[in-house]
Structure 1
Amino acid sequence: MNQDLVIQRFTPPLKLANFRLAAFDMDSTLISIECIDEIAAVAGKKEAVAAITEAAMRGEITDFKESLRRRLALLKGVPASALDQVLRERLQFNPGARELCAALKAAGLKLVLVSGGFTFFTRFVAAELGMDYVRSNELEIIDGKLTGALMMQAWGDICDGEEKRRMLVQCAAEIGATPEQCIAVGDGANDLPMMGAAGLSVAFHAKPKVREQAMVAINAGGLEQLLQVLR
């Protein structure tokens, strides 16, 4: 068996024509970094922030909102220019991200970006990949510095696992699709609610807890391997 691409809960191939929407996590899924960790790195605080990120993604800290607030508090006072530096110097797309998104769009699927990360980065990623819907968190910046807080948006302030699930279901309903006609791709524990709602769940280089619960696990190589499953 190809351990790079593990099919766990159905008999392939599935028909791409059966799906109408694909929802993606951003950090460590579509892109190779965790943006909050890299902002912390620019500020010299990566070790403390990354430790909380890792525990949250493994599911050891079960309250994602609390884990994010703890990390943000450590970034209070960091210059907003750190965001530009991360985007310019550190953000890279994961292998196959562009190819997979282009193929799904060509097949008529709508694409959704749902991230516990920040709008500063999701705007760029969404534009590059042609996303149709985006939900993420808005950093509060005052006098050119991060305050350690988030801005309230129409739907709330923190896009956690439950908000990711709601967004997938809401976007599906908007285009007249069912959750069973959706694909959800992620790597961390906060992706499990949307992955559980979708007709096809895909773990990409994921934490063990996420790999175990996904229908398809891509453990090595690029995202484009999903196209081997969808015919």
Structure 2
Amino acid sequence: MTSSIEFAPGLTVQGITPPLNLRDFKLIAFDMDSTLINIECVDEIADAAGRKAEVAAITEAAMRGEITDYKESLRQRVALLKGVTEEHLAHVYRSRLRLNPGAAELVLACKAAGLKVLLVSGGFTYFAERLRDRLALDFARSNQLEIVDGQLTGRLLDQSWGDICDGAMKRETLLRTCSLIGCSPAQAIAMGDGANDLEMMGVAGLSVAYRAKPKVRAQAKVAIDMGGLDRLLELFKSA
């Protein structure tokens, strides 16, 4: 592993030599929970069921890479959400979910440079689709909670592409999106914080860890440990 260099306080790089040219890239892919946004949505939904501590412990272990079967860990957490109302999902979105600092600024800068923007998440469509519309993102893929009579059933719904968006599916989604827009994976940027982001980060030309778990930070070409997501722009030439 190439040794890392502190490019600026809270911003380290390894294996790259800034300044880079943002227009050399064609796609930026964001993880959602704790990357693009400030919360782990599943943990906040669990709060309504009085099970936040239990669910958050599983989430933390999964993100640190201590649970290798992400799909099973997600099914376990979703099962604990049974009976939570759709209104509580709306409350989480309205009252608890915030964009992380610099998120909107980075998205706008990337779009201005001609990049397409992908949100690919092990979280839920209820939030990902709202964020897609709010930020005018080009693509979004995430997991769909089953809701019957306004309540969560504790299950996930299969979608046309498969059952659960785990690390392998994040990687496949990034690769398929590159193919769709006619670029190589080397022209993609992938940003994440947890172990289930490592596979997509591994195939992208530029991998970025945002306030990430140690395992993720160690493998990323860029690590942002202080400040907002838009600190990534410090590595690129001015327009």
Query: Shorter-chain TM-score: what band?
Result: over 0.9
Q: Unaligned regions of 5+ residues in structure 2, if any?
A: 1-5
Q: Which of 72-81 and 21-30 deviates more?
A: 72-81
Task: Report the residue type matching 1:29 in the other structure.
Answer: T
CA distance in 1, matches of 2:152, 2:163: 16
Match of 1:138, SS state, is strand
Consecutive unaligned residues in structure 1, runs of 5 or more:
none
The sequence identity of aligned pairs, in percent, is 62
Aligned residue identity for 2:222: V
- Residues of 1 paired with 2:9 and 2:50: CA distance? 37
Quote the RMSD (CA, aligned, Å): 0.8
Q: Which residue of 2 aligns with 1:223?
A: 229
Q: Please give the residue correspondences for 1:11-26 in structure 2 after superposition, counting only pairs within 5 Å.
A: 11-26=17-32
Tell me how many residue pairs correspond in the alignment: 231
Shift of 1:3: 3.8
Scaled by the length of structure 2, what TM-score is found?
Answer: 0.95
After the TM superposition, list the runs of 4 or more consecutive aligned residues in structure 1 that deviate by more than 6 angstroms: none
- The answer on 1:92 being equivalent to 2:103 is no
Helix, strand or coil at the partner of 1:165: helix
* 1:42 counterpart (24, 27, 48): 48
* Offset, 1:73: 1.0
Q: The residue matched to 1:17 in structure 2 has which SS?
A: helix
- The equivalent residue for 1:129 is 135
Q: CA deviation at 1:72?
A: 0.7
**Cα displacement string for residues 166-223 of structure 1 (whole angstroms, at most 9, x for unaligned residues):** 1111011111100000000000000000000000000000000000000000001100
Q: What is the match of residue 78 of structure 2?
A: 72
> What TM-score do you get using the length of structure 1 for normalisation?
0.98
Q: CA deviation at 1:110?
A: 0.3
Q: Secondary structure at the match of 1:62?
A: coil
Contact 1:43 1:82 (C-alpha < 8 Å) held by counterparts: no
The Cα of 1:23 is off from its aligned counterpart by 0.4
Residue 32 of structure 1, aligned match among 23, 32, 38: 38
Q: 1:55 aligns with which of 61, 64, 76?
A: 61
AA aligned to 1:92 is R
After TM superposition, the structure 1 stretch with the greater mean CA deviation from structure 2, 85-94 or 9-18, is 9-18
Instruction: Give the CA deviation at 1:42.
Output: 2.4
1:197 is the counterpart of 2:203: yes
Query: Matches of residues 77-156 of structure 1 in structure 2 within 5 Å?
Result: 77-156=83-162
**Does structure 1 residue 167 correspond to structure 2 residue 173?**
yes
